[in-house]
Chains A and B, each alone.
Chain A
Amino acid sequence: MPVSNPIPERYHRQVILKGFGEEGQNKLSTARVLVIGAGGLGCPALLYLAAAGVGHLGIIDHDEVALSNLHRQVLYDTTDIGQPKAERAALKLARLNNEVGIIPYVMRLQPANCLEILSGYDIIIDGSDNFSTRYMVNDACVLLNKPLVYGAVSQYEGQVSIFNSGEIRTNYRDLFPHPPAAGEVMNCAEAGVLGVLPGIIGTMQASETIKLITGIGEPLVNRLYTFNALSNLSYEILVSRTDLSASLIPADTYQFEQTNYDWLCGMPSGSLEIGLRQFNNMAGKAGILVIDVRENGETPLVQEFPHIQLPLSLLRENLADLNAETVVFFCQSGKRSLQAAQWLKDIQGPVKNIYSLQGGILNWRSPITE
Chain B
Amino acid sequence: MNNTDIHIMVFGQLAEITGTANLRLPFVADSDLLKAALLAQFPAMGKVNFIIAVDKKPATKNVTISSESVIALLPPFSGG
Q: Which residues of A contact B (CB under 8 A)?
A: 37, 39-42, 126-131, 134, 151-155, 157-159, 175-176, 178, 180, 184-188, 191, 193, 198, 224, 226, 228, 231, 233, 235-240, 242, 244
Contacts and interface: CB of A to CB of B under 8 A. Distances in A.
A184 B80 contact: no
A147 to B, nearest CB: 18
A238 B11 contact: no
30 contacts: A40-B80, A129-B79, A129-B80, A130-B78, A131-B76, A134-B78, A152-B76, A154-B12, A154-B13, A154-B75, A155-B12, A158-B77, A159-B77, A180-B48, A180-B76, A184-B47, A185-B13, A185-B75, A185-B76, A185-B77, A188-B79, A191-B13, A233-B21, A235-B9, A235-B11, A237-B58, A237-B72, A239-B58, A240-B58, A240-B60
Interface of B is mostly: loop
Q: Lowest 10 CB-CB distances: which A-B pairs, in order?
A: A152-B77, A129-B80, A188-B79, A154-B77, A180-B49, A153-B79, A41-B80, A237-B53, A176-B76, A127-B80
A228 B74 CA distance: 12
A9 to B, nearest CB: 34
Contacts of B75: 154, 185
B11 A176 contact: no
Contact of A231 (B21, B57, B60): B21
Given A191-B13, A238-B56, A185 B78 contact: yes
A155 B13 contact: yes
Number of chain B interface residues as a range:
20 to 34
A180 B12 CA distance: 14
